[in-house]
Structure 1
Amino acid sequence: MNEVTIDCVVFGYDNGSLKVLLSRENKGVGAKWRLISGIVKDVKNADAATLKLLNEFGNFENVSLKQLTEAAGSNSQTLCYFTIINIEEYRVKFGVVDLYQRWFKATEIPDLIHDHNLILDYSLCQLETCVRESPFSFNLLPRKFTISELMNLYKGILRIETDKESFRRAFLKKKVLVPLKEKKETVSEKEDQLYKFNAAFYEKSGLDHFILDF
């Protein structure tokens, strides 16, 4: 059976900033960075193998993987995935034998090996589509959140500029937020309204109702 190469883009949301986990072999200054990659021998268990690969770099047992492409080569296949995590909730192992790992801002990615820059660019487009067309990103927030926290998440991933009031109106029109009676005290000692995701309404309304146009 042909070997299968796994390339996985690991996005990390970090307090308003979108980052990417890269690794490289410990071969000096000239060594190029790469996506999280590995080789498996059984394509039927590629998803499980990808999770096993990710867990060599941190606690990624419960992440949601999305497959990008499947490209067959003469002697091998390449499967590409992406996932996104909240960096605060996952512990990444730094200093694994013969490897370096580092979070890079998505806007400051170096020249990567092979076609990894292209894979990353395509993954970013797919991530933005998921965020615009589904409640995919709510998993990166606490169960109760403020409009500011939600806005920072969308601004960080979609790289958009918007003011808080316009953003709040856009989301409230979708009816996917439930205002709570609780408030969160901020650093400025003002209290912000807390919300939660209206999963029941979303499931009834269908995917098209969620599409965001900002």
Structure 2
Amino acid sequence: MPDNEARPGAPRIYLIAAHPNWAESRVNRLLVEAARALPHVRVQDLYGTYPDFDIDVAAEQESAQAADMVVLLHPIQWYAMPALMKLWCDEVLGYGWAYGPGGTALNGKDLWLVASTGGPEASYHPQGYNRYFFDAFLPPYEQTATLCGMRFLPPLLLHGARRADPDEVRRHVDVFAQRLGSYPDWPELEELGACPVIDVPTSDRPLPNPNEAR
């Protein structure tokens, strides 16, 4: 079997990458290059594909539903994901498709966050200028996964990406590629429970009335 051909039964991974300026990326660009070399990983460059922010929702839903694991790869910007990735979540993870009545398209899948920060790890501390441990910024990701019936995997983070030395960056990329290549055979996954089932009452999110303005 050629090196660039996926083995039969290999898990399907949909990696969604968002970086507003790849030319300035020291870490995420290398991660994307490593992911593209793996045959069972499909890479979607959001800013390259949708420079006008006009997301093809049907195509994205098809790709996400076909995957066993969805990866969100991006730099942290203002303690969250870049704007286009947030729009992807807003439009693709629709009510009645990803959550709510009939919204089971992603149930049982895994969600993995791969992110980098400009500030060093020490800055994410009550005595640091970011004032909180980085874990404090993860609940929106985890709850998004939970609402969609997905398992939120332990994130892969690189702090201080702007000043990380080349050897540290290379090691980080190697770990990332190894993790993608070995999924789902990660020892820690045995300790994670099954994906939760969340009921969203229709009374909390009624279907929109086209005659009513919100």
TM-score (norm 1): 0.23
Whose radius of gyration is greater, 1 or 2? 1
Greater share of residues in strand: 1
TM-score (norm 2): 0.23
